[in-house]
Amino acid sequence: MNRPVPPEVLRATILAGTIAAKPERPSELPPAWSDTPEPGWAERDLLALAPPPSTAAAPAPVQVPDGMTVHEFGVGELQAAYAQGVTDPVATIEALIARIEAHPTGANAVLAMIAGAETAAKESAERIARGQGRPLEGIPFGVKDIIDVAGAPVTGGSFLPGERVAESDALVVSRLRAQGAIPLAMLATTEFACGSAHNPRYGAVLNPWDRSRWTGGSSTGSGAMLAARLLPLALGTDTGGSIRVPSAFCGICGMKPTRGLVPRTGVIPLSWTLDHIGPMARSVDDLRRVIPFIAGPDGVDPTAAGGYAAERAVSDLGGVRIGVPEGWLVEMQDEAVLSAWGEALAVFEKLGARLVPVDLGDIATAHADGYLILMSELASLQEPVLERIAEFDAGARARIEQGLVFTAADYLRALRRRPLVIRRMLQALDGVDVLVTPGLGGEAAFLEDMTVEVNRTRHPLQMIIPRNTMIFDYAGLPALMLPSGTGRTGLPVAIQIVGKPYDDALCLSLGSLFQDVTEHHRRAPADPTVT
């Protein structure tokens, strides 16, 4: 049983490493009478790079592995099992519901089952039997509790919305439904995707690899459910790392798309500047089977543009140049994480890639600017309910209160620096095709004191987990997290593949090629339902 963590510890650990000291000279920005950047230029520049939609070829069909049970199937295996008559959507939904009810992760990662799943499974089974199955026919998926699902309770992991029930689907959910996928469960999140691990309404989500550790957040339930083999697919959101952090800690795969590739319509906002929506699964191939169907503008989200550029994927690594970072992105990393990263780079090199050193320049300032934007926008979004601030969890409250301290000049400076950082990063990446970084600095965080251990020293978790993630939310670049091995105690560690804007397909194809010759993504935690 995990003991309650004192509020002062939650407050301290969630702010650690995210607030920069005020410099004597507050900005290196050019003066107003020169070509000085405006707050909206970053979004403008990213939109200008948006490619038209293209047709994405699905990964090659897979064979149903011998000896696997339905709950172990990923998206590709389920599609093959349906095609070969090994199982059908009705049996799959029944098996997953039974497993969710029996598994301890089901008890703390699932907030509510979504009505209508059994009916949808019957319809999917009939379509498949008639040979009229849609691309994702009968694939169950989970939904993070800030993404609306019609008729389901969506509370943002907070007491404040009460018993709110969503009136309609978020766009990402409706797009998956249109391809035959079936929403099965609403999954846990930290409060409004920004609070501490110890959610005041629903409690902490325990990591299936070690129940004294955290899953990482804020897509806590999505990470846990996939690791525990309770679902083959889940939706998450990422503002400072919230898809990629639980992916790394839980040994699964998560894609933060290019900013604007997947519309945010119907998702409770945390930061309108930094929010991203994306899929999580157990293999990169499964992500590739899903993301083309959720990409593209909807005419509502003003930042949504372009399409999934499938033609940018590669089928081999001959001639591919992989950027190897220096400085910030390899500092504060456990030796076991760096060792797994080095071994992964060697795999890429053996497959034909060329490794190229890359210096991205000052990341510390951009990291702090990202959190300044996040907390300022969070405070603005929660301003209508500030009289109820005592009802927030200590972590969310700390971030809201800090957001109220920042000045308008602080906020606008962080926004104005953003296009300059994006340009600098793209110039640094000009000589490479992708960047491959270590994932997170250590294995999963300890729930007892909200720390991450790096080289046998514990650090407040927020000093470690977003170091290599926030910068790519701030810059809007696509970033894929995938398992790369194990740490000192046998828990998963990860690498991150980062691309240029709208190079999502390229990142995913590199991840698939890596997983074709490695087995890290096939590892699973011990199954407590097996005696």
Residues taking part in catalysis: 144, 218, 242
* Residue spans of alpha helices (H) in 104-185: 104-109, 117-129, 171-178
Residue with tokens 């950047």: 37
Contact 207, 213 (CB under 8 A): yes
d(CA 176, CA 136): 8
Residue 3 has pLDDT above 90, yes or no: no
Please list, in sequence order, all residues whose beta carbon lies within 8 angstroms of the beta carbon of residue 177, skipping any fewer than 6 positions away: 169, 183
Tokens of 340: 């797994």
Chain segment 354-402, per-residue pLDDT in tens: 999 999 999 999 999 999 999 999 999 999 999 999 999 999 999 999 9
Q: What was the pLDDT predicted at 53?
A: 80
pLDDT of residue 128: 98
pLDDT at 36: 87
| pLDDT score at 523 | 98
Q: Is the pLDDT of residue 134 over 60?
A: yes
pLDDT tier for residue 23 given thresholds of 50, 70 and 90 = low
Q: What's the predicted TM-score (pTM) here? A: 0.97
Residue 186 pLDDT: 98
Q: What is the pLDDT of residue 60?
A: 80
Tens digit of each residue's pLDDT (9 = 90 or more) over 52-104:
887 767 788 888 888 889 999 999 999 999 999 999 999 999 999 999 999 99
Q: Indicate the length of the chain as a whole number.
A: 531
- Mean pLDDT score across all residues of the chain: 95
pLDDT at 373: 98
Residue 433 has pLDDT above 90, yes or no: yes
Q: Judging by beta carbons within 10 Å of its beta carbon (0-12, 13-18, 19+), is residue 167 exposed, middle or buried?
A: exposed
What pLDDT does residue 58 have?
Answer: 75
- How confident is the model at residue 517, as a pLDDT? 98
Distance CA 259, CA 373 (A): 15
Q: Span 318-338, mean pLDDT?
A: 97
Cα gap 298→301, rounded to integer Å? 7
234-286 confidence digits (pLDDT tens): 999 999 999 999 999 999 999 999 999 999 999 999 999 999 999 999 999 99
CA–CA separation, 460 and 219 (whole Å): 19
Beta strands in 461-517 (DSSP E): 479-486, 492-498
Percent of all residues in the chain with a pLDDT value above 70, rounded to a whole number: 98
The pLDDT value given to residue 35? 83
Map residue 158 onto helix, strand or coil.
coil
Tokens, residue 331: 């500092």
> What would the two tokens of residue 120 be?
């949808």
pLDDT band at 2 (very low <50, low <70, confident <90, very high): low
Residue 25's pLDDT is what?
54
Other Cβ atoms within 10 Å of 119 Cβ, number: 11
- Whose structure tokens read 């340009």? 423
| pLDDT tens track for 378-389 | 999 999 999 999
